[in-house]
Chain A
């Protein structure tokens, strides 16, 4: 296609549009936002108004107390992700957005699984917890609670394994992530 810097004529047929096509993959959006009241409401409201679904959301402080980090995961198969990030950029209190490809990022999530357990099954559950490098954080006569950290597919795999024992409840924090390598997220 005609290089902008040359006099070469540009054939209109060669022009390709860039646009909000669905990417079909999971996106981890890492946002730096000003630590002000209502920021989260603006962000979540923006998603809600457009009918976009947030799969997970984690908020926490950064090393600068004026700035917070929001990590949210969105399914690029069902939403045009570039529209989402452009709209997020329009929020005055959003400072930076990084759209992380799961392949280029380290993502972790913490989950607590409360599993019904009595007699025989307790041993088996503890064995699974061992394999998944989880920790037993609470035990009662009829239950055991396992703490597990990892990327979401690991948590989901563990959930599949222990479900037959009877999953009483599960609490997950939502993923947080940093980019791989030296570059700042």
Chain B
């Protein structure tokens, strides 16, 4: 069997049904094998789009996303998506073609050392040197991508080796002596954590994307409900705890709610589950949660005490640890009344500082209103992807995600242009779901070519562009911290989004009147096929509240 046919067999054995990619010289054999392999291939228009689509696929479904690219420029175009998948722990496998082995290292046509280029941004990479190792390599790649802390794995296959005739036998297990992720948490540590929770007067549960990756939201809810523990989530964790809810504080961090950030600031015990104390969460590290002790539950031991020293580290899978922690906590029969004062204090913040904005008097559409209208129009029942910037933060604030895997965005790397291709991937994974992309006008243009993919492959994503004519978040920073010197943030009047959508064969719509917005949104959602809706919003609206960079939570402004 040709090695590439073995690759297809391996993909099928891993349960892969969809792949995203673009063919080229060095991966011609792969595409020949794909021709009748029985997998659905989504032919993207740029490898970055294929990479983000694989991420969207993985984030929406929990399955490993797969993207294919050729050597050289094909592979380097994947780099942003690979880095993005690394930062947000997205289970993905990238299979790239490489030049023939006799050309390796000679600056051959379309040669790039993609294994070298991506070394700091992959969970693992495998450069094939012997065709006989290809089947094992593919299975190892999937195993590494989906287990432990998920992440991207790159498999680089030289063109000549991919054509080799190899004896193929199904591989039923992989053997990686240096890779054995811890799953079960240490029982003693879990007990210690339960006792710490029992004694805490001002506890907060701080949950991140790890809860979503571990499929542990029900377990998180159970822990929170085992008492009246208040819960906040990171940008990546939204949906892991159902919003709105009595115990829900909202998102925390730079554009989080005041109640979430103040609660972290005053907490005496923070139980972190699957989050990593990113600088967008902590603000000034030395003033972060100064009174708190930390329980840190994470599957990646390298996250423990990386930024914030953990008093009770628990390494393992949240899905296994949380039920044990919950049971240990319940067994302690604590005094529920001890939290009364704390919850009252939080209630006070929530009443005094609810999320809010000044709505317009006239027809002007405020960006926050746009998200509220979208929440209404979809009934909250949609998978929502976003690009990066103000619109992303407003979506996180005003779209109340009540289940995991419904909010797909680029958190760690902050990749503009992520929204459309990831929506495309999500829709391929979940064809029965309404998939909506909230895009920024600056971000949308960065991967707008994937509209062609959506049209030709019949992927009915609904894109709502929050069009303020600016690179809005950069403009906001220039306004607030750089004396309003607006440098290179105006987007001008190009393109005409309606015409552009129509040129691609999608449906284009435009709305600039608040009164019409709900009806237009409803029409966009009900229209068949891909839709681009250009929503003209207030040009200079700032995203608040905000912890200015490098300051502490209690210094929130706006």
Contact = CB atoms under 8 A, between A and B. Distances in A.
Is the A/B pair a real complex? yes
Interface of A: 2, 4-5, 7-12, 15-20, 33-34, 37-38, 41-42, 45, 49, 82-83, 86-87, 89-96
B228 interface: no
B286 to A, nearest CB: 14
Contacts of A49: 120
Contacts of A93: 178
20 contacts: A2-B192, A4-B188, A4-B192, A5-B191, A9-B198, A10-B195, A11-B199, A18-B305, A18-B313, A19-B310, A20-B309, A34-B178, A37-B127, A38-B119, A42-B119, A45-B120, A87-B302, A90-B300, A92-B178, A94-B178
B332 A7 contact: yes
B178 A91 contact: yes
B269 A12 contact: yes
Interface in B385-441: none
A9 B127 contact: no
Contacts of B200: 12
B199 A12 contact: yes
Pick the 4 closest A-B CB pairs, nearest first. Answer: A17-B309, A19-B309, A4-B191, A86-B302
A179 B318 CA distance: 36
A44 B115 CA distance: 15
Nearest to A8: B195
A12 B269 CA distance: 8
Contacts of A10: 192, 195-196, 198-199
Contacts of A86: 301-302, 304
Contacts of A4: 187-192, 195
A42 B118 CA distance: 11
Interface in B110-149: 115-116, 119-120, 123-124, 127, 129, 144
Interface of B: 115-116, 119-120, 123-124, 127, 129, 144, 176-179, 187-192, 195-196, 198-200, 268-269, 293-294, 300-302, 304-306, 309-313, 332
A12 B115 CA distance: 47
A10 B195 CA distance: 6
With a 10 A CB-CB cut-off, give which of B120, B198, B302 has the most chain A CB atoms: B302
Nearest to B179: A92
Nearest to B306: A83
A5 B144 CA distance: 35
B524 to A, nearest CB: 44
A16 to B, nearest CB: 7
B227 to A, nearest CB: 15
Nearest to B178: A95
A7 B328 CA distance: 10
